[in-house]
Amino acid sequence: MLKGDWLTINEKKLRELLQSVQSGQADIETAIERLRILPYENLGFARVDHHRQLRCGFPEVIFCPGKTVEQVVTIFGRLAVSGDTVLATRAEPAIYEAVKKVYPSVEYYNSARAIVKRGEDLPVPTGMVAIISAGTADLPVAEEASLTAELIGSRVEKLYDVGVAGIHRLFDNLEVIKRARVIVVVAGMEGALASVVGGLATCPVIAVPTSVGYGANFGGLAPLLTMLNSCATGVAVVNIDNGYGAGYMAALINRVGERDD
On average, the pLDDT of the chain sits at: 86
In terms of domains, do 96 and 136 share one? no
Domain-embedded: residue 1: no
Give residue 75's domain range: 6-117
Instruction: Report pLDDT for 48.
Output: 79
- 5: enclosing H helix or E strand: none
In terms of domains, do 100 and 221 share one? no
**Last residue within a domain, chosen from 58, 93, 117:** 117
- Rounded Cα–Cα distance for residues 113 and 111 (Å): 5
**Last residue within a domain, chosen from 96, 117, 138:** 117
**Last residue within a domain, chosen from 117, 142, 166:** 117
What is the arithmetic mean of pLDDT over 33-43?
A: 66
Sheet holding 205-209, edge to edge: 154-159, 126-133, 182-187, 205-209, 235-237
Selected residue with higher pLDDT from 203 and 56: 203
Question: Taking the model in full, what pTM does it have?
Answer: 0.81
In terms of domains, do 138 and 256 share one? yes
Q: Phi, psi (5° rounding) for residue 148?
A: -60, -50
Looking at residue 188, the DSSP 8-state letter turns out to be -
Model confidence at 4, pLDDT cuts 50, 70, 90, reads: very low
The CA dihedral of 11, 155, 103, 32, to the nearest 10 degrees, is -10
State how many domains the chain has: 2
Model confidence at 106, pLDDT cuts 50, 70, 90, reads: very high
For residue 36, how far is the Cα from the chain centroid?
Answer: 28
- Rounded Cα–Cα distance for residues 184 and 150 (Å): 13
Summarize pLDDT for 119-143 with one digit per residue, the tens: 877 778 889 999 999 999 999 999 9
What is the arithmetic mean of pLDDT over 103-127?
A: 88
Domain-embedded: residue 52: yes
Domain-embedded: residue 208: yes
